[in-house]
Structures are given as structure tokens and as C-alpha cells.
Amino acid sequence: MTPSVPSQEATALLDGLRAFIEPAHVRVDPESCLNYGRDWTRLYVPNPLAVVLPGTVEQVQQLVRYANDHRLALVPSGGRTGLSGAAVACRGEIVVSLDRLNRILDFDPTDRSVTCQAGVVTETLQNFARDHDLYYPVDFAARGSSQIGGNIATNAGGIKVIRYGLTRDWVTGLKVVTGRGDLLDLNRGLIKNASGYDLRHLFIGSEGTLGIIVEATLQLTQPLREPSVMVLGVPDLDGIMALYGAFRGRLELSAFEFFSELALRHVLKKGLHRPFETATPYYVLIEFENPEQAQTDEALALFEQCAEQGWLADGVISQSEAQAKELWRLREDISESISEHQPYKNDVSVRISRVPALLAEMDELLAREYPDFEVLWYGHIGDGNLHINILKPANLEPATFARQCGAVSEHLFEILRRHGGSISAEHGVGLTKKPYLHYTRDETEIGYLRAIKQAFDPNGIMNPGKIFDGSTRVPTSPSKTS
């Protein structure tokens, strides 16, 4: 990317930013604009005016007020591990990176709570909790680079939702800078608070469209006691839900994941090994607490009973913590292993009871509509969340590929609507799912969403164009080409 000479207006605006944010943290170099201007979708060409890294909450407030005065569009940025384009800056916006707001501020062992800044990396918080013999249970493969503020802004889910719920369930307090530039201190870490509207929950999942999350108070819990992991080979889709019912009925599960043989093959190319010799169309990964191996006999008895029913063909159970981690990699490494193929992702959900019917219809649709594309299935089926990844052929242009996939998505989302599902279970709406929001939210509800945004962000400066259409003025900015 090579920027041209900034316009006179853009130069003046950047000088204005440097008056209250250190010049070294107002970046316009091509590398910063590329890295901070995109997320993992890789579908959009980054083109921010600048990348700003405030170091204090006061600087965030000054920045938002400055943006209001000059009608500048802001794109909040965390770890940029999202898959919906919510953190993309492709129209001359200012990227607001929270990288420097990265401190853990307070820990209360009595409340089992921790207060941290928005730029704290998820894995850093998890390690902090572990050092205090506690556990932060929101977990997913991007834990090493995602940030707490981004997790909250997208209501991140992950691999433990079946037992622990979503990010929303662990946030007891938030400090946010609204689109007006006001600092709100929401709920203050309280467990019980019946004093009117709980604005905290509006910002959880808001994708940066209402303001900027700068600080969070999060609940911690007891760690899992010696978890065991099983991977089971499943011959058909019906067997997956049968296994779910059988194992959930007799073990307290902390995870129930599934993935296809096609997905496993991509992971194996990266150096991992098959969990067992038998290859099956689908696999299930089950995790459960197993202190002193007390649940092993129950798990093995369930394995035998399910095998007799024809629901599984083979399986393995971890014998050590190291082996459990290796089995988890078969599921968690899928996304990274297919990233080079620029997959088109659909992240959908439905009530658990409706998963079998949805799976059958979707499987038929995808086989019919994508005969020449490689389609991979995996997901958190224990909470009704399915991930569908269509891999881009090497000789197909990304725009053409996305357009072809988008046309089929219309049929997919119509099936979802009939089943009362959601077009986005945990990745958010952003840019990629914005055209399809009406399949999940009707026009009346979307009208209320717009009214909420207007209340918090009257000038439309916060992440405009994400979730639903809306824009604000941007200055003539450096043009960049990839």
C-alpha cells in the first residue's frame, strides 16, 4: 500500500489529533494502516485516514469529542480477530486501537472479580485468573490475540458456552465512552441491581456502534476439575444429536463440539495426527470434569451403549492433560488451518431442539448449490451454533467468490428464518452479514435499534455502516492501493 500526499484538510485534522495524543501514537504509515484497518475477513481493502492509539480514558473522550466536532468516523479496534468486518476501516475512518489500554486494574478475591482495561488480551486475563486459582471461562482459539473490549463488543461465545454461557454472563461492570463523548460507569460490578435500565447490556454486542468500551469488571469462577476429553467418530448427522442427548443426560459437559472429516484433513496437513485409525464423516469432541478419573467408567459405558446403537464408530479418551490439549487442537486449529483459502463463513444458530431438522435442510442445500466448492462444517453444536466455511478456489477472484456465496446465503437464511434461527451466532453482523439482518430482526425491531444508536451516537460517528447502513462525513484522505 502506498499513500499519496494527504489533502490539506486531512493534514490539519491529523495535526489536531496530535495536539492531545502523542504524535508517535497517531500513525499514518502504510503498515499500520494495513494491519489496524482490517480484521480476519480479508474481504475489504483497508483505507483508514489514520490509526490512533490513546493511552488514557481521557484521551478516548477527547478523541470522540474531537470526532464529533469535525464529523469524523471512528472504528474501535481490539485484537481484530473478528470475522464479520466490524473492525474494518475502508472508507477513510480513524481507527481507534485500544492496544495501550492493556492493564489489569483491580482484583477482588472475595467477589471473585477482576477489573481490566479494554485492551487486555483474553489469554492474559485467563492466565491472571489461573494464577489466583480461578477461571475466566470465555474461551476460543483466538484467545492469544483477541482483546477483552472486542470480546464484549461482540458478545464472544466460544467453546465453553454449553456450561458457562456467553461473555454477557460474566460482565458485571463497564466503563464506556459514548458516541457523544460521555463517560458512563455502568453497574459497578454489582451482582444485583434493580435500579432501572441496565445500559451495560446495550454495549455488550454493540460492535462499537454506540461508543468505545474502555474498562470492564468481570466475574471469575472455579476452574474445571481435571477435565477429560473424548473424540468420537460419527457416521452421520443424526448420530451427533443422539450422542449429545446421551452424554448430556449422564455427565455435566463443559463442551460439545463437532467437525467434519473435510475439516479434520486440513488440520492434519499442519502436523497433527488422527485421533484414531477409523475415518468417519463427522467427529464429536466432548469435555467433562473428571476429578481423580471418577467419571471415566461412566464415559466408557456411554461409549459402549452409543456404539451398540450405531451412533459412533470409534473414539478415544484423553489419558493426560497434554493429550487433552492435543485432542482440543483437532477442533481449535481448524480456522487457522483453512485461513489461506480465504473461506466465506456463515456462523448460524438455532434452538438446540431444532438442530437436526436444520442440519438436514442445510446439508441438502449446500450439496446442491456448492458442487464445485469445498464446504467444511464445524461448530458448538451443544449450544445450537454451526459454522459453515466455503473455501475459495485458487483461481477465483475474491469478489466473485463472495458474490456467489452471498447469493446462496439468501436461501440458507430463508431456511434459518423458518426455523427461528439467527444469521450470526457469535461473529456479529458488521459488514458481511448486514445485508441479511432482516432474516433475524424484523423492520420494527431494526427501527428500535436505530433509535438506540441515535440516542448514544447522534452524529453517527461510531463505526458507521456496521450492523445497518448509516454514514458520517470523512475528509479527503490519502488514497491507498493494495
Helices 321-332 & 261-268, crossing angle to 10 degrees? 110
Q: How many domains does the chain have?
A: 3
Instruction: Tell me the per-residue pLDDT of 168-214, one tens digit each, with 9 for 90 and over.
Output: 999 999 999 999 999 999 999 999 999 999 999 999 999 999 999 99
Under DSSP, is residue 212 helix (H, G, I), strand (E, B) or coil?
strand
Portion of the chain with pLDDT greater than 70, in percent:
96
Range of the structural domain that residue 423 is part of: 342-439
Last-in-domain residue among 158, 187, 219: 219
Last-in-domain residue among 167, 185, 219: 219
Evaluate whether 224 touches 295 at the Cβ level (below 8 Å): no
Q: Is 7 contained in some domain?
A: no
How far is the CA of 459 from the CAs of 43, 61, 70, 73, in angstroms? 27, 15, 10, 9
Tell me the mean pLDDT in the region 369-398: 90
Please tell me what DSSP assigns to residue 341: G
CATH of the domain at 423: 3.30.70.2740
pLDDT at residue 128, rounded to an integer: 98
Q: Is 45 contained in some domain?
A: no
- Tell whether 127 and 178 lie within a shared domain: yes
For 253-281, the DSSP string reads EEEEEEEEHHHHHHHHTTT---SSS---S
- Tell whether 298 and 402 lie within a shared domain: no
How far is the CA of 474 from the CAs of 44, 68, 87, in angstroms? 18, 12, 17
Residue with cell 444458530: 349
Q: Is 273 contained in some domain?
A: yes
> What is the C-alpha to C-alpha distance for residues 7 and 105, in angstroms, rounded to an integer?
41
Instruction: Tell me the per-residue pLDDT of 437-480, one tens digit each, with 9 for 90 and over.
Output: 999 999 999 999 999 999 999 999 999 999 998 655 555 554 44
CATH of the domain at 285: 3.30.70.2190
Last-in-domain residue among 150, 184, 219: 219
Q: List 245's β-bridge partners, or say none.
A: none
Highest mean pLDDT of the ranges 322-331, 365-374, 468-477? 322-331
Evaluate whether 92 touches 14 at the Cβ level (below 8 Å): no
Cell of 430: 458488521
- Tell whether 315 and 288 lie within a shared domain: yes
- Tell whether 358 and 308 lie within a shared domain: no
Tell me the mean pLDDT in the region 415-435: 94
Tell me the mean pLDDT in the region 159-167: 95
